[in-house]
Amino acid sequence: MPASVVLGAQWGDEGKGKAIDQLANESNWAVRFQGGNNAGHTIVLGDTTLKLHQIPSGVTSTHCNLVLGDGMVVDPWVLEEELDRWHSLTKERPEGKRLFISERASVILPFHRMYDSADKVVGTTGRGIGPAYRDRIERVGIRFVDIPFVIDDSDKIDETVSRMNMQLDSVGVNKKIGRKDFIADLKWIMDRFGDAIRPTGAMIDNALKNGENVLLEGAQGAMLDIDQGTYPFVTSSVTSRANATHGAGIHPGHVENCFGISKAYTTRVGNGPFPTELPYDTGPGNHMAMVGHEFGTTTGRPRRTGWLDMVSLRDSHRINGYTGIVLTKLDVLGGLDELNICTGYDLDGQIIDCMPTSSHDLARCKPIYEIHQGFPALKEQEWIDMAELSRSDRKGFEVLPETALSYVRRIEELSGIPIVSIGIGPDRRASIASLGGPFDVDPEVTTF
C-alpha cells in the first residue's frame, strides 16, 4: 500500500493536527519526519482538546503505531510531559508498545534550549531546535543510538561539555553545563525511553511491504522550509514532501498522495515578511485573530493574520506537488462583508506572480487583490449540523452558503489544486469532504 503525506502549505499553524487525526483512522502508522517540539498540533474531540508537540497526531487512533522519525530532533523531557498527559487522559503508556523513537533522531539537550534562548533576530520558539540541527550538521550532535557509547566515553563527555559551555559563553548565556548533570541526563533518557528506541526506518519499510497504510506527518509549513522558505525567517529543517520519506527512512516511490493544509486566510508567527498581513487590532485582521483564536499552540504568541495569499500557495504547490488541499477555518471568515484573495504582487511597480527569493524583496511586495462577497457568521453547532448534512445526504460542498462555495471554487481555480476537505470548526465532526475523496468518511466520535 502507498504512503500519504500531510504538509503545511503556508507558514505553519494551518490545522494539520485535525487532518492527520482524520486520516490516521485509516492508517496503521503515523510518522513525524522532521522538526521537534517547535510544532504544535491541536485536536478537538468533543469536550477534550489535545495539544501535541512531538507525539504524532495519529495517537487518538489506538490501532495506529506512532514514530518519531529519523529527521526529527526530540526533546525527551517534553516528550515525557506529553506522554504523562496522555496517560492521565487514557491510562495508556504507548512508548515501546506502539510509540517508537528513531535511533537516528537527534537528542535535544538542556544546552540546546539555553543556546536558543539567546536568539533575538529570527523569532524562534526557543525550544532548542535550531541548535540541535546545527550540531547534527556539524557532526557533533548526539543521536539516540549514540547515547550508551557517549556515556561510556569519558573523553567524549569532557569534550562535549567543554564545547557546550564555550558556545553558551559566546552568546552571553551565563549558565553552564555540569559534567555530572550531563551524564545523569543521558542515563535518564536511556532509562526512560530505552525500550522505545528502534530502527524505525526498517520497521516502516516492512509495514509498507506488508500492505499497511503509512501516514507521513509534517510540522511547520512550506514557507518555513530551510531551503525553499522565506529565509532567514524559517525553521531549521526541510518541511517539504521531498523530505517526508527521507526523514522517515523510506524511499519516495512509496508516496501516492500529498495533502497540503491551508487556512482560508493566512497567518504567520514570528518575524519575517508577510505581504497580505492586516492590522492585528482592528478590522478583518482582528476578526480573524479573535474568531480564529489565533495564538500559537507551542508558544502562545499571537499569530499575525492576513488575507489568503495565492502567490505563496502556488509556490508551495510547485515545491510539493499537492494532490489535494484541505482548506481549514473557512467558518472564521463568516461575518465579513468582503473577502480578498491575493493573486499577485506589485514589486516596485513590476507585477509578479511568484515569490521573490530575497526576503528584502518580499518585504517590499504589495498584494494585488480580487474581492469576493462575504458570507454570514454561523454558530459552531450550525456549522457542525451543516457538515453532518453533507455526509448524511451526500451533498458534499453543496451544503455551504452560496458565497462561501463561490470563494472555495475560486481558490481551486487560482491554485490549480482540488480541495478535498473543508474545515468549518475545530471539532472533529466539523469538516466537509469532497464526495468520493480520501476524507469522505464518517468521523468517529471519540471521548476519553
Q: Is 325 helix (H, G, I), strand (E, B) or coil?
A: strand
Confidence of residue 299 (pLDDT cuts 50, 70, 90): low
| Domains of the chain from N-terminus onward | 3-76+200-433 (3.90.170.10), 106-195 (1.10.300.10)
Could you give the CA distance from residue 185 to residue 281 in angstroms, rounded to a whole number?
44
Residue-by-residue DSSP string for 126-144: SSSHHHHHHHHHTT---BG
What is the phi/psi pair of residue 177, to 5°? -95, 125
Report pLDDT for 122.
Answer: 61
Question: Annotated active-site positions, please?
Answer: 13, 41
Query: Please, are residues 335 and 374 in contact by the beta-carbon 8 Å criterion?
Result: yes
Report pLDDT for 44.
Answer: 73
By CB atoms closer than 10 A (0-12, 13-18, 19+), residue 357 is: exposed
Could you give the CA distance from residue 8 to residue 40 in angstroms, rounded to a whole number?
12
pLDDT in tens, 73-83: 999 999 999 99
Could you give the CA distance from residue 46 to residue 440 in angstroms, rounded to a whole number?
20
pLDDT in tens, 13-63: 999 888 888 888 889 999 999 999 887 777 776 677 778 889 998 898 899
104 dihedral zone (left: phi>0; alpha: psi -120 to 50; beta): alpha
Distance of alpha carbon 390 from its chain centroid, rounded? 28
359 dihedral zone (left: phi>0; alpha: psi -120 to 50; beta): alpha
Report pLDDT for 48.
Answer: 76
- List CB contacts of 326: < 8 A, sequence separation 6 or more: 6, 15, 19, 259, 260, 261, 262, 419, 420, 421, 422, 423, 439
Mean pLDDT of the chain: 93
CA distances from residue 224 to 34, 95, 234, 335, 416 in whole angstroms, order as listed: 12, 30, 4, 30, 22
Report pLDDT for 124.
Answer: 67
By CB atoms closer than 10 A (0-12, 13-18, 19+), residue 430 is: buried
Least-confidence region, from 193-202, 298-307, 430-439: 298-307
